[in-house]
Structure 1
Amino acid sequence: MNKAEFYSELNSQIKALCDSEPNLIANLANISAVLFERLADINWAGFYVVGDSVDKSRQELVLGPFQGRAACVRIPFGRGVCGTAVSTQQSMLVEDVHDFDGHIACDAASRSEVVVPIVVNDVVVAVLDIDSPIESRFDKDDQLGLESLVTFIEEIWA
């Protein structure tokens, strides 16, 4: 099975899992679990959400549902791979995080990363973040597959 077929199947599985569940947190938790289970050679899969439940004006990401080792709780916009994805509203595909200026090392074992911003009504509301201990683990096919998943997440977020 090629990557396009894999992500099509993965996205179908996730859509079916979320189909009758209206709770966003439950859906994000299950999406994280499926990604962590189905994607090979990763060590973290989850979400960082924009803002804070107390102070919505803070310009930072806050840890959301995930699978993997304990993670950084807050990431300022423009900092690290996730914060850069928010600031640019662009997906980030990083072959070696040690070469990324300003990388935030939540897990020293991580070597590569793909981050896709989740945009609702032209505003980034969260990012999907996947880490791997293997350098160059992700490629454009992974990015496209995850961007397709994020399109679905944007629909259930709205």
Structure 2
Amino acid sequence: MSLQQLKPQIKAIVAMQNLSIDERLLDICKLLEANISYYNWVGFYFKNGDKDELKLGPYVGEPTDHTIIPFGKGICGQVAISNQNFVVPDVAAQDNYIACSISVKAEIVIPIFVNNENIGQIDIDSNTPDPFTEADERFLEFVCKEVATFLT
């Protein structure tokens, strides 16, 4: 299934007001992981209250010990500070990378903004080297904008 074909399904999940926020986030993770072959770990991190750290939210994939990530640490922690997308074609080439699994080869992190504030992010790990394209970036920006609509 193409990224464009997934957009209506994302909108349908977002519109399911009978589900909790976490249930909708998990359904989005499941949809992406099941339909995009190189999305091997899909999860959300959110700012942890007033602390300068991220807390793991719903995700699918291998369990991770990284349930709390300080701002500035790893790819997710850097996105929390920079407010910019971060695409890592080769995690082995990154100095400030937190390894979740030895099988991970690449990562993409896109921030989620609510009222112009970076409140979290979607984090995707891939076991495929350099799989992420500009199309993935644009699609995940769309996902984050949709997610922001029910986090307000």
TM category, shorter: over 0.9
1:99 and 2:93 aligned = yes
> Partner of 1:73 in structure 2?
67
Secondary structure of the residue aligned to 2:25 is helix
C-alpha distance in 2, partners of 1:117/1:101?
A: 21
The reply to whether residue 131 of structure 1 matches residue 125 of structure 2 is: yes
CA distance in 2, matches of 1:20, 1:141: 26
Tell me how far apart the structure 2 counterparts of residues 130 and 118 of structure 1 sit (CA, whole Å): 14
Of 134, 146, 149, the match for 1:155: 149
- Post-superposition shift, 1:42? 2.6
CA contact (8 A) 2:16 2:24 kept: no
CA RMSD after TM alignment: 1.3
Q: TM-score, normalised by structure 1?
A: 0.89
- Following superposition, the deviation at residue 16 of structure 1 comes to 1.1
- Provide the residue aligned with 1:21 in structure 2: 17
Identity of aligned residues (%): 33
CA contact (8 A) 1:24 1:157 kept: yes
Query: Gapped runs of 5+ residues in structure 2?
Result: none
Number of matched residues?
150
Letter in 1 for 2:142: S
Matched residues in 2 for 1:131 and 1:17: separation? 22
1:143 Cα shift?
0.7
Under a length normalisation based on structure 2, what TM-score does the superposition of the two structures give? 0.93
**Contact 1:7 1:146 (C-alpha < 8 Å) held by counterparts:** no
| Among 20, 38, 45, the residue aligned to 1:48 | 45
- State the distance in 2 between where 1:58 and 1:19 align: 30
Detail structure 1 runs of 4+ shifted over 4 Å in the superposition. Answer: none
Shift, 1:121, TM fit? 1.4
| 1:140 shift after superposition | 1.2
